[in-house]
Structure 1
Amino acid sequence: MSNLYGDYNQKIDYVFKVVLIGDSAVGKTQLLARFARNEFSVDSKATIGVEFQTKTLVIDNKTVKAQIWDTAGQERFAHLPLHAT
């Protein structure tokens, strides 16, 4: 895999694309908020459509970027292209 560059010319060694799926109102949005922004709210609004967040981590001296999609938990979004780049 060729190296990618993220914000501020930071070398990205790996990119992972993650889609959070599950029933409505089970905590997908809160899981993402906690992971990506270190936030948690007991008063959360329902996701409309799809939301997207990224988080960059260093693991074993490798820079890893996670691109995370938060779905609305509705079957009509089951068609999301899981292979999208």
Structure 2
Amino acid sequence: MDYVFKVVVIGDSAVGKSQLLNRFSKNEFSDDCRATVGVEFQTKTLLIQKKLVKAQIWDTAGQE
């Protein structure tokens, strides 16, 4: 792994943080909305300019 980025997504409740994360990490979008309880974590590895980049993304509940 050439680079590792750790990202925390914060913001108000019910604004789409989890949907944004799912779209980026899994290329999925769902109209079904469920509240995040606590914190959820996903990763995605990308090849950018011949370098492996791993994104570790934490999704919060929106009550920070």
Q: 1:57 pairs with 38, 43, 46, which one?
A: 46
Q: What's the CA shift for 1:14?
A: 0.2
Amino acid at match of 2:43: T
1:9-48 aligned at under 5 Å gives the runs 12-48=1-37
Runs of 4+ in 1 over 4 A off after TM superposition: none
Q: What's the CA shift for 1:27?
A: 0.3
CA–CA distance in structure 2, aligned partners of residues 38 and 65 of structure 1 = 16
Structure 1 residues 10-53: Cα deviation after superposition (integer angstroms, max 9, x where no partner): xx100000000000000000000000001100111000000000
Match of 2:61 in 1: 72
SS at match of 1:45: coil
SS at match of 1:15: strand
Unaligned runs of 5+ in 1: 1-11, 76-85
- TM-score scaled by structure 2? 0.97
Question: Which of 1 and 2 has higher RCO (CA within 8 Å, sep 6+)?
Answer: 2
How many residue pairs get aligned? The number is 64
Unaligned runs of 5+ in 2: none
SS at match of 1:74: coil
Larger Rg computed on CA atoms: 1
